[in-house]
Amino acid sequence: MIEEAVRLLQSHHYRITKQRRSLLEYLSEFKEQYVSITQVTEHMKTLYPGMSFNTVYRNLKDFSEIGIIETKNKPTGACVKYQCDFGNLHHHHFICQNCGRVMEVEMCPLTMFQNQLAGCEIKGHRFELYGLCASCNQKLKKI
């Protein structure tokens, strides 16, 4: 389950410590929703009481830079989720505002915007759709 992430770390010359493996195992539980960095830190401290917030944060930053996790800033703080598609690092999401489920959106709308910005060079983008997933939508309609 986490072997792709381990290979990616090794290819970037990171040692695979038991702490990193534990962090990867925990993060791999969050492929379909974001988890707060605070929650990740609290979990890691239960496994390794001496582990600092800075150590967890530094590893999460490294994981993000090489594409193991995705990050998002929410009003409540920074959140992360495990990469849902290592074969397609460029993708977008639909996020359920009720249950927090994250689903991958296959189409990228960048060309539509690029055509409207003649002479501009887009350096990056993030595209997210928000609403109710099918399950939450169905549950709420029954109420």
Q: What is the largest CA-CA distance in the chain?
A: 54
> In the numeric block, which tokens belong to residue 51?
């582990």
In this structure, the answer to whether residues 72 and 112 fall within a common structural domain is no
In a domain, 87, yes or no: no
Per-residue confidence of the chain (143 residues) as pLDDT tens digits? Answer: 789 899 999 999 999 999 999 999 999 999 888 999 999 999 999 999 999 999 999 999 999 988 899 888 888 888 999 886 655 556 677 778 888 788 777 777 777 777 788 888 877 767 777 888 889 888 888 87
Q: CA-CA distance, 105 to 94, in Å (whole number)? A: 6
In this structure, the answer to whether residues 50 and 7 fall within a common structural domain is yes
Annotated binding residue 96: yes
91: left (phi over 0), alpha (psi -120 to 50) or beta: beta
pTM beyond cutoff 0.85: no
How many structural domains compose the chain? Answer: 2
Q: CA-CA distance, 103 to 120, in Å (whole number)? A: 30
Please enumerate in sequence order all residues whose Cβ is within 8 A of that of 41, keeping only pairs 6 or more positions apart, or say none.
51, 53, 56, 57
Annotated binding residue 133: yes
Q: Give the domain range for residue 23.
A: 3-82
Note whether 111 and 78 are within 8 A (CB). no
In this structure, the answer to whether residues 9 and 35 fall within a common structural domain is yes
Annotated binding residue 79: no
| DSSP H stretches of helix in the chain | 3-11, 18-27, 37-47, 53-65, 110-116, 134-142
Q: CA-CA distance, 37 to 127, in Å (whole number)? A: 22
In a domain, 48, yes or no: yes
In this structure, the answer to whether residues 78 and 39 fall within a common structural domain is yes
Residue type, 138: Q
In this structure, the answer to whether residues 16 and 72 fall within a common structural domain is yes
